[in-house]
């Protein structure tokens, strides 16, 4: 099984992760765009499905390329808690406390981003991350809280990108207005409730949209069996404990060319110009990133330069 995946990676992406420098966190694939979703991208399922991911992510302009380079880090004011998150200990129970601190902060931030901050007063109704379907419906006025979500758009032939963690697929659903199904994965580590969804863009089948939800509670990524992935050694708090969220901590602790978070205030999702300016801003095309593209085939395979520059529509 793993071998299959490995083969897929090798055959379809031409190169393995072993070619990554060990500072390249493998748990976040590649140079796809990362979006810090301000809100629930799926809670209003119909909305998201009707919009389509590209639009949802702000790529309303079909010619808008997938991010090649990380866009500029958001202003510090946009991520007031980023440092907090960076200091956040790898709490083994983060899923249960997430609503009180991390998640709440994120959601609030998200709401602020949308200009619709409400009274919080949620009162810690979050139970275990596994409320399941049997859980009684929450108050109508109060939507089910969700872990913060982060999405990547990655050019890849493979749907399930190796990211250093082990995932168990627990579902697959057809997506409306999309010929491609959406797959649901859950981190196999005990006590870790991180989930991710993987789907292909209906507008560009070569784009894989991976949405992470939650924080890894285990301090270090699990080495994928049979994988030659070189896992990051946590150079001062990154990648690490949170796995998914480090991208936020990255803002303040570890600026890695591959990871970026885009709080909505700093990015006009509907603005192709913003994206274009990001792409043009070579400050964010670090040498390591650029050289990687040249020296290591993976990223190039995933995001061919011509594809990255313009969508072959």
Partner DNA sequence: CGTCTTTGACCTGCGC
Partner DNA sequence: GCGCAGGTCAAAGACG
Q: Which is nearer to DNA, 75 or 205 (CB)?
A: 205
Question: For DNA, which is the closer residue by CB, 41 or 285?
Answer: 41
**Least distance in Å: CB of 223 to DNA?**
12
Contact 294, 300 (CB under 8 A): yes
Q: In angstroms, what is the minimal distance from the CB of 160 to DNA? A: 6
H/E element holding 36?
strand 33-36
- Closer to DNA by Cβ: residue 172 or 286: 172
Q: How far is the CB of 179 from DNA (least distance, A)?
A: 12
CB nearer DNA, residue 15 or residue 42: 42
Q: Which residue, 134 or 287, is less far from DNA as judged by CB?
A: 134
User: Would you say 67 and 278 are in contact if contact means Cβ atoms under 8 Å apart?
Assistant: yes
**What is the rounded CA–CA span in Å between residue 222 and residue 218?**
9
| Closer CB to DNA, 21 or 43, in the complex | 43
Instruction: Give 63 or 188: the residue with its C-beta nearer to DNA.
Output: 188
Cα–Cα distance, 134 to 128 (Å, whole number): 13
Rounded least distance, CB 299 to DNA, Å: 23
Tokens representing residue 144 in the block:
């089910």
- The pair of three-digit structure tokens given for residue 291, joined into one six-digit string: 């050289």
Considering the complex, what minimum distance in angstroms separates the CB of residue 24 from DNA?
Answer: 23
Q: How far is the CB of 77 from DNA (least distance, A)?
A: 29
Q: How far is the CB of 130 from DNA (least distance, A)?
A: 5
Q: Is 300 helix (H, G, I), strand (E, B) or coil?
A: helix
Task: For residue 122, give Cα distances in angstroms to 127, 142, 189.
Answer: 12, 8, 29
For 228, the token pair is 């030659």
The token pair at 112 is 């602020």
The least CB distance from residue 123 to DNA, in Å, is 16
Sheet holding 195-200, edge to edge: 33-36, 149-155, 207-213, 195-200, 181-187, 167-174
Nearer to DNA, 63 or 93 (CB): 93
Considering only CA atoms, which of 151, 229, 162, 155 is closest in space to residue 196?
151
Q: Would you tell me which residues interact with DNA (CB under 7 A)?
A: 1, 3-5, 41-49, 130, 132-138, 140, 143-144, 160, 166-177, 182-186, 188, 195, 197
Quickly list DSSP for 167-214.
EEEEEEEEPTT-SSEEEEEEE-STT---EEEEEE-SS-TTEEEEEEES
DSSP bridge partners of 169: 185
Least distance in Å: CB of 311 to DNA? 23
- CA 222 from chain center: how many Å? 18
Of 189 and 250, the one with the shorter C-beta distance to DNA is 189
- Secondary element (H or E) of residue 154: strand 149-155
């Amino acid at each position: 099984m793993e071998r299959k995946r490995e083969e897929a990676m090798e055959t379809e992406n031409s190169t393995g992760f072993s070619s990554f420098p060990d500072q390249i966190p493998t748990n976040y694939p590649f140079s796809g765009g990362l979006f810090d979703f301000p809100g629930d991208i799926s809670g209003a399922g119909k909305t998201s499905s009707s919009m389509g991911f590209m639009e949802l992510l702000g790529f309303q302009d079909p010619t808008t390329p997938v991010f090649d380079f990380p866009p500029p880090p958001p202003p510090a004011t946009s991520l007031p808690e980023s440092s907090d998150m960076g200091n956040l200990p790898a709490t083994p129970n983060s899923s249960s406390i997430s609503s009180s601190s991390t998640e709440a902060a994120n959601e609030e931030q998200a709401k602020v981003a949308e200009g619709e901050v409400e009274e919080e007063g949620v009162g810690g109704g979050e139970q275990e991350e596994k409320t399941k379907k049997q859980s009684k419906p929450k108050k109508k006025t109060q939507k089910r809280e969700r872990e913060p979500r982060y999405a990547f758009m990655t050019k890849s032939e493979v749907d399930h990108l190796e990211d250093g963690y082990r995932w168990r697929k627990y579902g697959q659903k057809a997506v409306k207005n999309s010929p491609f199904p959406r797959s649901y994965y859950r981190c196999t580590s005990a006590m870790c409730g991180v989930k991710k969804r993987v789907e292909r863009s209906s507008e560009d089948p070569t784009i894989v949209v991976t949405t992470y939800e939650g924080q890894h509670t285990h301090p270090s990524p699990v080495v994928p069996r049979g994988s030659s992935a070189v896992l990051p050694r946590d150079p001062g708090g990154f990648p690490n404990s949170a796995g998914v969220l480090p991208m936020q901590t990255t803002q303040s602790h570890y600026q890695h060319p591959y990871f970026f978070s885009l709080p909505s205030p700093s990015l006009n999702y509907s603005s192709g110009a913003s994206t274009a300016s990001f792409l043009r801003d070579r400050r964010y095309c670090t040498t390591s990133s650029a050289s990687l593209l040249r020296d290591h085939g993976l990223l190039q395979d995933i995001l061919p330069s011509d594809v990255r520059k313009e969508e072959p529509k």
